[in-house]
Structure 1
Amino acid sequence: MTAQLSDIGQTTIDLLVELVRNGCENDLTPDSGQEIRSAETLERFFDGAPVTIRRVEPHPGRTTLVVSVEGSDEFAEPLTLLGHTDVVPVDRAAWSHDPFGAEIADGQIWGRGTVDMLGLTAAMATVTRDLARNARPRGTLTFVAVADEEARGGLGAGWLAQHQPDLFSWGNCISEFGGSHLPVRDGSDAVVVAVGEKGAAQRRLTVHTEPGHGSTPWRRPSAVQRIAEVAVRIAALQPPASHEPLWRDFVQAFRFDPDTERALLAGADDDAYEAFGPLARYAHAISHLTVAETVIGAGRAINVIPGTASLELDIRTLPGQSDDDVDRVLRTALGDMADEVAIEHLISEPATASPTDTELYRAIEATVGEFFPGVPVVPTIGSGGSDLRFARHLGGVGYGFSLYRRERTLGEVQGLWHGTDEHIGVDDVDLTARALHRLVARFIGA
């Protein structure tokens, strides 16, 4: 197996094993993660290479490493590779492999973060070191091993964007979510590249009634009853489908029969999404404002009728949808209850998307074409978030890029993100490392 790998692929796999074993679990608390372990691994990895290394640590142990290769032409376009080193927690008992053992078996590397996104982070580091050692680029190349991505970047990319936005260039960025294949209905191929992601518009809905003793409930309205009615009304929400070009291009890439394509583009038939098979939920998510009821709270004592109850909503917006749009949708759904329900804004971030008419996107298309000649590249958006949104907020462009073998479909790869027994193919790591090397060299002129 090892003999079949490229040198850059083998180096990437060796580094990936170390990063997985560091076990930088981020449980959303400030003291978790401890990405300093992977920062130290990467510092050793770059030891002796002609690079500039800077550490950033907004909180003890939450370390981001910035590695730069200075370009020879100050006017050449720079490129930044945004990798993250934290991973989501695991339920160890549910895994059939040690989640932090990085075991290589059956052509796969098993472990938390192999897909999201330590495999790509390792490839970014390997490509950066190789180019630093062997060719001075025209444009400056920066590799950033970011902390805290899994908690929305408050101690990572978000902190950097707010407090040290000039530490490196955000103008052209590459990160996760790209390179898998679509199961096109006629058997042909298509490769997806993320050009954007949905926004966050989290809300807490609260109702108030008169509290009372649980022994005398007659004609006493309960906040539990009222919030239950709120939940029923919100659950019945049916936001309209997107009519944006990104959704149209995604649908057309599957080459459905004309009736199915029309139904999906019109957005009038939810059953039409079944045509996507395992990708149905994802397809529905990237074509709609989505509202998920996730947390409910009311009462503390069993003998007290509560006077306050709340419902929290995980709402994800499409590009162009504002906080005001979200509140209008909620009030419409609440109907005659709207005036008695308080709507509180929690985390709110707009959706972001980068154009496809850029030099970096064209470089991505050309690179995919090298490895999969004649295969179209389909731009799409992520249903969740990534650090690329900070680049877009600062005026840059950002795309998700890696590359998988032909049989690795978008649905299969998505199913591994944050999942039990997360794993990645050894040959997929090798392919990603080689493709990323070509992309970087093409774009910065190495």
Structure 2
Amino acid sequence: MSLYHDTLQLLQEMIRNACVNDGTPDSGGEVRNAESLAKFFEGTDVKVQRFEPHPGRVSIAFTVEGSDPDAEPLTLLGHTDVVPVDHTKWTVAPFGAEIRDEKIYGRGAVDMLFITATMAAVTREAAKRGTRGTLTMVGLADEEARAGLGAGWIHQNAPDAFSWKNCLSETGGSHIPGRDGSDTIVVNVGENGAAQRRLTVSGDAGHGSTPYGRDSAIVKIGEVARRISLAHRPMIDDRSWQIFVKAFRFDEELNESLMRGEGDFHEFGDLASFADAFSHTTIAQTIVRAGSAINVLPSTASLDLDIRQPTGVSQEDVDAMLTEALGDMADQVTITHLLTEPATVSAPEGPLWDAIVETYGEFYPDSDVIPIFSTGGSDLRFARYAGGKGFGFALHARERSLAAAHSQLHSHDEHLHLEDLNLTVRAYDSLIRKFVG
């Protein structure tokens, strides 16, 4: 069978394994996808490593030892878990891996099992022919819950298990159509950090039948939420943002305005929210807690914020931003740090970046290739923590814009065009041949 069909069969199996990660330690069950990968590599001369920090939460690595110890290594980081589904919103079986109209449907089809399956298939092929540089493919657990039982655990507990020097993961290879008919291919070179916060206020406890004159914690947290929604979020000062804006080929006046953050971001169309998250710290108000019984006035209320900060914004900067937004309420609000991680970025230069640009040029010779930041998290940040390079890599047909690719992430009826699977397989195979031989 062809490399593409092997990849498709593995992708279908991985979708059907339904390794759903709801954020709790006993969810995920990535052991099922680890076993599928182990079976896929049977009969090849690869080094296999298995990591299981919690029962069922298995990551697995397959290493092809290169013939030249001085050659550049390459590590492919593919996660094997997927996010939950709302079954009532799907029109197809979310774990059926059904193919309709040249598209494969299923949770994880895009995020990111099609890339993970591709990584496995091209690594197996490389193992059969041998490589000059060492090649490792890792099927990672727990990416969808910040990787504490996956890449994060390996980085902390087994940092030398494989090389972090040159890493590929999700995602890249979608397109920005310029207003002049031009085409630009994007590559994720960095990602925003995490600055999760819990804001807590106090109020008067009491019986629900006598609220008069009471200091309501719920009213107070509502005002906190209103003020936070109006927080001033400074614009980033980064050349990648300027390159991103220029890819749309706006007229010169609008181009300059948007680069300064003064223009109407609706000009970016379906990418308006992405553009905002690319260029600013984002503050999402996600969880409110107060009260336990309907007839009791709660003495406290809290608001959880999912904050993602770009490079150059520190945790102290985030706290100052919140304090400024709270104004004269600041001394009534306790700010608690939850998960915090710095933003990370890999400079778009060096042999791996050059190989990515060259590979895209083989498929789309008239397209530009530009670096962008991911607004969410990925396992690539651990490569950067380790001092290595981390880039997103896949390839979509020109009709699949960045907006179209993003629309499938965690969506109902998540699906991947089979054309894009074929392109990604061919692109990975080409890149690996030129990079590790």
TM range (shorter): over 0.9
Question: Which secondary structure does the structure 2 equivalent of 1:267 belong to?
Answer: coil
Question: Which secondary structure does the structure 1 equivalent of 2:306 belong to?
Answer: strand
Which whole-Å CA distance do the structure 2 matches of 1:229 and 1:427 have between them? 50
Letter in 2 for 1:277: G
Question: Which secondary structure does the structure 1 equivalent of 2:235 belong to?
Answer: coil
Which whole-Å CA distance do the structure 2 matches of 1:265 and 1:111 have between them? 37
Which whole-Å CA distance do the structure 1 matches of 2:34 and 2:48 have between them? 10
Letter in 2 for 1:104: I
Equivalent in the alignment of 2:53: 58
Which whole-Å CA distance do the structure 2 matches of 1:102 and 1:122 have between them? 13
Contact 1:25 1:88 in 2 (8 A): yes
Contact 1:243 1:265 in 2 (8 A): no
1:304 to 293, 296, 306: 296
Deviation above 3 Å: which 4+ runs of structure 1?
Answer: none
CA deviations 1:215-240 (Å, max 9, x no partner) are 33332211111111111110111312
Equivalent in the alignment of 2:402: 410
2:274 to 245, 261, 282: 282
Q: 1:334 Cα shift? A: 0.5
Q: 1:209 Cα shift? A: 2.5
CA deviations 1:40-89 (Å, max 9, x no partner) are 11111111111111111111111111000001111111100000111111
For structure 2, the 5+ residue unaligned runs are none
Contact 1:8 1:430 in 2 (8 A): no
Letter in 2 for 1:358: G
Which whole-Å CA distance do the structure 1 matches of 2:211 and 2:419 have between them? 65
Letter in 2 for 1:107: E
Equivalent in the alignment of 1:422: 414
Query: Could you say what the CA RMSD is over the residues aligned between the two structures, in angstroms?
Result: 1.1
Q: 1:268 Cα shift? A: 2.2
Letter in 2 for 1:216: T
Equivalent in the alignment of 1:226: 220
Question: Which secondary structure does the structure 2 equivalent of 1:190 belong to?
Answer: strand
Contact 2:232 2:321 in 1 (8 A): no
Contact 1:298 1:306 in 2 (8 A): yes
Which whole-Å CA distance do the structure 2 matches of 1:235 and 1:375 have between them? 39
CA deviations 1:162-217 (Å, max 9, x no partner) are 11111001111000010001121111111000001111100000111332233333
Which whole-Å CA distance do the structure 2 matches of 1:95 and 1:248 have between them? 38
5 Å-filtered alignment, 1:145-164, equals 145-164=139-158
Q: 1:314 Cα shift? A: 0.6
Question: Which secondary structure does the structure 1 equivalent of 2:336 belong to?
Answer: strand
2:126 to 123, 131, 146: 131
CA deviations 1:14-35 (Å, max 9, x no partner) are 1111111111111111111111
Q: What TM-score, normalized to structure 2?
A: 0.98
Q: 1:113 Cα shift? A: 0.6
Equivalent in the alignment of 2:235: 241
1:132 to 1:211, Cα distance in 2 relative to 1, 3 A: same
Number of aligned residues? 437
1:317 aligns with 2:309: yes
CA deviations 1:368-415 (Å, max 9, x no partner) are 001110311010011110000111111111000000111011101100
Which whole-Å CA distance do the structure 2 matches of 1:360 and 1:374 have between them? 21
Moved more, 297-306 or 56-65: 297-306
Question: Which secondary structure does the structure 1 equivalent of 2:294 belong to?
Answer: coil
1:33 aligns with 2:28: yes
CA deviations 1:275-307 (Å, max 9, x no partner) are 111111111111001111111111122222222
Which whole-Å CA distance do the structure 2 matches of 1:391 and 1:27 have between them? 25
Q: What TM-score, normalized to structure 1?
A: 0.96
5 Å-filtered alignment, 1:382-421, equals 382-421=374-413
Equivalent in the alignment of 1:3: none
1:344 aligns with 2:336: yes
5 Å-filtered alignment, 1:169-248, equals 169-248=163-242
For structure 1, the 5+ residue unaligned runs are 1-5
Which whole-Å CA distance do the structure 2 matches of 1:377 and 1:219 have between them? 62
Which whole-Å CA distance do the structure 1 matches of 2:349 and 2:104 have between them? 36
Equivalent in the alignment of 1:358: 350
